[in-house]
Structure 1
Amino acid sequence: MRVLIIEDEDLAVWGLISKLQRLEPAVEILATLDTVQTAVAWFRENPAPDLAFFDIQLADGLSFEIFEQVTVPCPIIFTTAYDAYALRAFKVNSVDYLLKPVAQDELSQALSKLRHLRGPAALDAGTLQQMMQMLKPKEFKNRFMVRVGDHLTAIDAADVDFFFGENKIVWLRHANGRKYPVDYTLEQLDGMLDPERFFRVNRQYIASIGVIRDVVAYSNSRLKVNLKDPMNEDPVLISREKVEAFKTWLGK
């Protein structure tokens, strides 16, 4: 088996080679490459290998960029540190993936799968685009425009304690204690805000991690959140169905 390895971490390269040699003693490592550009040049100048291993994140970009510049006429196994759930779309069109550090039993299963392939695995444009979209970091809203009298001013999301709904208006509560109406629903905000910083605690509140003073047990398996907000004496309750997700978020 003639194998090409595209990986920018030396330890990962030698670990993969060692496991391959144990599973396939006759394996021939054609080359080890660490950038998109060297990989593109290699495919242009050499016949196709029997198998290629592609690390997703290379020194000069994502390995998917290779497919945009050159035809890759061979089966591919991606190696990646990304979570398997996020990469469920990779198991299509004879493409497989392994999570790093690569386990020998999983490598063995991937090689077994590739032995049953008929012809090279081709990445179609739709699959490639789907993969790239999944791996792009999601951009979250960093600033909000609010009206102060006749003026508009920008408020950084980092300076927001929480958003809340009141009398059919959604308000932004600034860390300075002032509140401003915003032109979004809480549902819209829930999809815009960084989930590492903000959590939709209930139907009326989206709170930032920094504004939570403490959490206490409440009736019917619910939780009560006390905010660092002397102006807000009403309890902020978390429903039973959100309790576990809230605990996970709070403990990150």
Structure 2
Amino acid sequence: MNILIVEDEKLSARKLQGMLQKIIPHASILQVTDSVADTLDYLNSCPPIDLGFFDIQLSDGLSFEIFDQRDVDFPVIFTTAFNEYAIKAFKVNSIDYLLKPVNETELTTAVDKFKKGYARTPAALDSEVVAKALSMLTNNYKNRFVVKVGEHIRLIPVEEIALFFSSEKYTFMRTVGDRDYGIDFTLEQVMDTVNPNQFFRVSRKHIIALSAIKDIIAYSGSRLKVKLNVSTEEDVLVSRDKVADFKA
């Protein structure tokens, strides 16, 4: 399988290459291009490509410009940190649309979709991919939580939250000011309402704000220990089964 990666962030390109080599070890990464111009130039004289991974926002424009300027006869999986391009992505030869940071589970699902019938066939706007795109466009993440303090109501912006945690069947959030508030959400419900680019569920008991990370330390059992810029009563550990996605 010949793969082309179009990505202008070197770290993202390296991480994507590493995950692809693990998921499809027999695949050949033909080239990593980092701009619209570089990609167009490469496509003029490249070997046959089976699958492309295209970041949408490149240094000299949007990768959709590549499709505007030439025919792309291989299927593409788009990667981006932004939702607003979802519908347009499915109007070209696209298999899937992955939000950054791309995790190994979602990448594996997208590659499996390609293996099961998208290879060398025109992409179709089926109900599943359209639903996914619409979901991305309409998913309004919470930007604040409402908490009760005595007889008063407070609005806590998500930017002020460092940690969500569970304790004795209750859920709490801890602000960057080291103050705790009880909330009427389970941790599962919290993850359904906050932006996954800002928060990560590291374990059954903890959801952390990525902006609150102060240090990450290798820990026993292939886990990671995360130190936050707020106090914690117990170690905040990244579960073994979540380490790969956390690093992605």
* TM range, smaller chain: 0.5 to 0.7
On the 8 A contact 1:146/1:180 being kept in 2, the answer is yes
The answer on whether the counterparts of 1:146 and 1:181 sit within 8 Å (CA) in structure 2 is yes
2:93 alignment partner AA: T
- Paired residues of 1:89 and 1:131 also in contact (CA < 8 A): no
**TM-fit CA distance, 1:197:** 0.8
What is the 5 A alignment of 1:84-123?
A: 109-110=120-121
**Which residue pairs with 1:197 in the alignment?**
198
Pairs within 5 Å for 1:33-182: 62=87, 78-80=92-94, 82-83=97-98, 109-110=120-121, 127-128=126-127, 130-136=128-134, 137=136, 138-182=139-183
CA contact (8 A) 1:225 1:238 kept: yes
Contact 1:224–1:237 (CA under 8 A) maintained in structure 2: yes
* 1:168 to partner: Cα distance: 2.1
Shift of the 14–190 alpha-carbon distance from structure 1 to 2, 3 Å rule, reads closer
Please state how far the C-alpha of 1:241 moved relative to its aligned partner.
1.5
Shift of 1:239: 2.1
Q: Cα distance 1:90–1:221, how it changes in 2: closer, same or farther (>3 A)?
A: closer
Structure (1 or 2) with the larger CA radius of gyration: 1
Find the counterpart in structure 2 of residue 239 from structure 1: 239
Q: Which residue of 2 is the match for residue 47 of structure 1?
A: none
Shift of 1:209: 0.4
CA RMSD of aligned residues (A): 3.8
CA contact (8 A) 2:176 2:229 kept: no
- Deviations along 1:81-119, whole A, 9 cap, x unmatched? 83585699899xxxx97xxxxxxxx7xx337x9xxxxxx
Contact 2:144 2:156 in 1 (8 A): yes
Q: Percent identity?
A: 34
Which secondary structure state, in structure 1, belongs to the residue aligned with residue 191 of structure 2?
helix
Give the direction of change, closer, same or farther, for the CA distance of 1:234–1:10 in structure 2 (3 Å limit): closer
SS at match of 1:172: strand
Whether the 8 Å CA contact 1:90–1:131 is kept in 2: the answer is no
Q: 1:221 aligned to 2:218? A: no
- Cα shift at 1:234: 2.4
1:11 Cα deviation (Å)? 4.9
C-alpha change, 1:242 and 1:77, in structure 2 (3 Å) is: closer
Change beyond 3 A, Cα 1:167–1:9: closer
Which one-letter code corresponds to 1:192 in the other structure? T
Amino acid at match of 1:237: L
Provide TM-score, normalisation by structure 1. 0.52
Matches of 1:9 and 1:238, distance apart in 2: 37
Equivalent residues of 1:201, 1:207 under 8 A apart: yes
Gaps in structure 1 of 5+ consecutive residues: 1-7, 21-60, 65-75, 98-105, 114-120
- Alpha-carbon shift at residue 133 of structure 1 (Å): 2.2
Q: Is the 8 A contact 1:162 1:174 kept in 2?
A: yes
- Counterpart CA distance in 2 for 1:183 and 1:156 is 16
Matched, 1:212 2:213: yes
